[in-house]
Amino acid sequence: MKTGGLLESAPVTRPHPAGAGARGGTASEDGSASRTPLSSYYIRSRIGKICVAITGASPAEMLRNAEEISRENHFVEFRLDYLANPIAAIPKIKQFLYERSEVTAIATCRRAATGGKFKGTIAAELEILEKAALAGCHLVDLELQTAEHMKPAQLQRLRSRGAALIISYHDFESTKDLDRVFERIHPFQPEFAKIVSTAKTLADNVTMMRFLDRRRDEANLIGISMGEQGTISRVLGLRAGSVFTFASAHAGEETGPGQIDARTLRETWRIDQIDASTKVYGVAGNPVRHSLSPLIHNMAFRRETVNGVFLPLQTTRMNDLLTLTREVPLHGLAVTMPFKSEILRHLERTDAISEKIGACNTVVRAQDGKLYGFNTDVAAIVRPLERRLPLSGAKILVLGAGGAGRAAAFGLAEKRAEVFVCNRTPETARKLARQAKAKFIRRDQLAKSNFDVIINATPVGMRSLKPASPLEPKELNTRLVFDLVYNPIDTPLIRMAREKGLPVVTGVEMFVHQGARQFEIWTGKPAPEEEMLRVVVHALRQDANANRT
Ligand code: NAP
């Protein structure tokens, strides 16, 4: 496709909205001056990478929000369709843009039929957009289906109001036919073409980014995949060719599924710094929505000036993960449920302990481009204990025989501890005990047994489950308790141990330790472990407070 209005050549400057009437141009039918739409070059010279969507229950609230947001972000979108009477906001927007000439604004009044909230007709939407343009909004956003319903004269009239045009397309179901949608937008010759799809898989992000990369020289494109799995496109889309991306003003004020707030995009994902050489990492599994791995690794990358970004990769399908890993390409993975074992056969090689346990939680892409696996869970269980007691000959009870229980049993048996395994399903414990050269113990034997350490490697006590301890007080006959559960920090088991005057190790220590070793494997640099601990504890305390209120 040849470039047309989608990429014009001459920048057009614009007088201040207050002087709009005085600007040169021809009179249109209704007597108002006809103005040349602002060029994409002019717009691009004014904007950053993030456009913040502004909503509000009333015009006054919308403008208050705009005031607040524009202190940090000079590029905003007025979502006029969120107002019961959008026209009432126009004089306030005009005044705001007059006073804040550094702000660039999009006016959007998307109808309900095309995924917005405006209940009016196309004619009413056009009237609002025209007025917004005359009030000084630099861009107006028109949905493709609306543009296709309009008469050429209607479009001409909107264009004559001086704002640059974005033609948008939203697919709330899937990511498909992106080129076909682009071909439908092209005849309208807008200054910007916005295509928003929905990611149902991680690979959908690849489809979106490939599209952006393929078409970036033909148009000023904005491309995003919505939904929980679309985070990758929101963070990496700019690098692929999206001119800018959209963010919400604050968490909880999203105008699209999966939208991220502006501060998080900037501070956690550092999208202003992402460039062609930024290495991409992520935590892969299900669920990873509340994983704290992105928090600690993005913080560590920033602190240690590593040009890297760390993303949540939510999927249950190994093929989906492998496609993303290959196509982005990813330089490292923190692997969690359900992939810790399954990933092994897709790796070039793994360290000895991963092979022995049959589970790996860390993947790195080496210089040769191949993927290698490590297990940092083992060291993250062994080292905190080694710091507190000699492990050789220590009697250690491991509750649970899943991934974490296996890491504990193998790791501690290797240190010559006398390991006992107890599990809800006894056969699994028996099998693990056999494999790890440990001993099987039944639950009903615990009350009359003594240990040096008891480790909880079951999910019992996790915030997402009902508060419970995996053991009763009479079964807690030990010198030290290690609960691998880290959210909450003070689990019922930890509280029970403290009540008995026993020293404890919390799951946070394990979490930070395994993350720190991952950071070192990926970057070759020492991890800022204290800082990692600080941000995790802070986040968990915030989480606890939020759950209390
Ligand atoms: P997993 O592979 O699913 O294994 C879970 C184990 O817990 C299984 O042995 C299971 O017994 C047992 N279990 C599950 N629900 C139970 C219940 N209601 N009562 C008694 N036993 C129960 O999980 P995993 O990967 O080993 O992780 C276990 C926990 O360790 C996680 O939930 C997490 O909190 C913690 N963890 C923490 C870190 C960290 O960095 N701090 C790292 C990894 C894991 P059955 O065999 O009978 O199903």
Mind giving me the DSSP string for 362-406?
Answer: EEEE-TTS-EEEE--HHHHHHHHHHTTS--TT-EEEEE--SHHHH
pLDDT recorded at residue 5: 57
Do residues 438 and 536 share a domain?
A: no
Decide if 415 contacts 453 (C-beta within 8 A): no
Question: Domain check: are 202 and 63 in the same one?
Answer: yes
Asked whether residue 357 falls in the same domain as residue 418, the answer is no
The answer on 257 and 177 residing in a single domain is yes
- Structure tokens given for 173: 């179901």
Q: CA-CA distance, 76 to 428, in Å (whole number)? A: 56
Is the bond into 526 cis (omega within 30 degrees of 0)? Answer: no
Number of domains in the chain: 3
CA of 400 relative to ligand 1 center, distance in Å: 6
Q: Using a 6 Å cutoff on CB, does residue 510 contact ligand 1?
A: yes
253 with 362, same domain?
no
DSSP annotation of 7:
G
Q: From the CA of 287, how far away is ligand 1's center (Å)?
A: 14
Regarding the beta carbon of 287 and ligand 1, being less than 6 Å apart is answered no
- Report CA(457)–ligand 1 centroid distance (Å): 5
- Nearest-atom index, ligand 1, CA of 513: 40
Q: Which two tokens stand for residue 109?
A: 């009044």
Q: In ligand 1, which atom is closest to the CA atom of 405?
A: 26
Both tokens assigned to 373 = 């696996």
Same domain, 307 and 382: no
Q: Could you count the other beta carbons within 10 Å of the beta carbon of residue 233?
A: 29
Distance of CA 295 to the CA centre of its chain: 10
Which structural domain, as residue segments, surrounds residue 54?
Answer: 27-273
* Residue 326 Cα to ligand 1 middle (Å): 30
pLDDT score at 543 = 87
In a domain? residue 510: no
Cβ burial 41-64 (10 Å sphere, 16+ → b, else e): ebbbeebebbbbbbbbeebeebbe
Specify if 353 maps to a domain.
yes
Number of alpha carbons in the 13 Å side-chain half-sphere of residue 452: 15
Residue 519 belongs to some domain of the structure: no
Amino acid 8: pLDDT: 56
List strand residue ranges (DSSP E) for 423-494, in order. Answer: 439-440, 451-456, 478-483
Instruction: Please tell me the distance from the alpha carbon of residue 110 to that of residue 78, in angstroms, as a whole number.
Output: 11
Q: Could you give the CA distance from residue 364 to residue 371 in angstroms, rounded to a whole number?
A: 6
Domain boundary among 273, 305, 323: 273
Active-site positions read: 340
Query: Are 169 and 291 in the same domain?
Result: no
Is residue 47 helix, strand or coil? coil
Last residue of a domain, one of 249, 273, 297: 273
Angle, CA of 370, 337 and 504, to the nearest 5°: 110
Cα separation, 243 vs 230, whole angstroms: 17
Question: Separation of 482 CA from ligand 1 center, angstroms?
Answer: 14
Give the domain CATH number at 215.
3.20.20.70
- Residue 34 pLDDT: 85
Q: Does residue 166 lie within any of the structural domains?
A: yes
* Amino acid present at 364: V
Which ligand 1 atom is the nearest neighbour of the CA of 380? 40
Instruction: Select from 253, 273, 293 the last residue of a domain.
Output: 273
Q: Are residues 55 and 197 in the same domain?
A: yes
Residue 509 alpha carbon, nearest atom of ligand 1: 41
Burial of 422 (C-beta count, 10 Å sphere; 0-12/13-18/19+):
buried
Please indicate, yes or no, if residue 236 is contained in any of the structural domains: yes
State if residue 290 touches ligand 1 by the CB under 6 angstroms criterion. Answer: no
Same domain? For 46 and 70 the reply is yes
Q: Phi-psi category of 115—alpha, beta or left, where left has phi over 0 and alpha has psi -120 to 50?
A: left
In a domain, 16, yes or no: no
d(CA 263, CA 354): 38
Task: Tell whether 329 and 268 lie within a shared domain.
Answer: no
The per-residue pLDDT for 78 is: 98
* Within-domain flag for 446: yes
Residue 518 lies in a domain: no
What is the domain-level CATH number for residue 314?
3.40.50.10860
Identify which of 382, 431, 484, 519 to mutate to test ligand 1's pocket (most ligand atoms within 8 A of the CB): 484
The rounded distance, in Å, linking the Cα atoms of 62 and 66 is: 6
Same domain, 268 and 362: no
Q: Is the CB of 358 under 6 A from ligand 1?
A: no
Written as tens digits, the pLDDT of the chain (549 aa) is 433 456 654 444 444 444 433 333 555 555 567 889 999 999 999 999 999 999 999 999 999 999 999 999 999 999 999 999 999 999 999 999 999 999 999 999 999 999 999 999 999 999 999 999 999 999 999 999 999 999 999 999 999 999 999 999 999 999 999 999 999 999 999 999 999 999 999 999 999 999 999 999 999 999 999 999 999 999 999 999 999 999 999 999 999 999 999 999 999 999 999 999 999 999 999 989 889 999 999 999 999 999 999 999 999 999 999 999 999 999 999 999 899 999 999 999 999 999 999 999 999 999 999 999 999 999 999 999 999 999 999 999 999 999 999 999 999 999 999 999 999 999 999 999 999 999 999 999 999 999 999 999 999 999 888 889 999 999 999 999 999 999 999 999 999 999 999 999 999 999 999 999 999 999 999 999 999 999 999 999 998 888 776
Distance in Å from the first CA to the final CA of the chain: 56
259 and 199 belong to one structural domain = yes
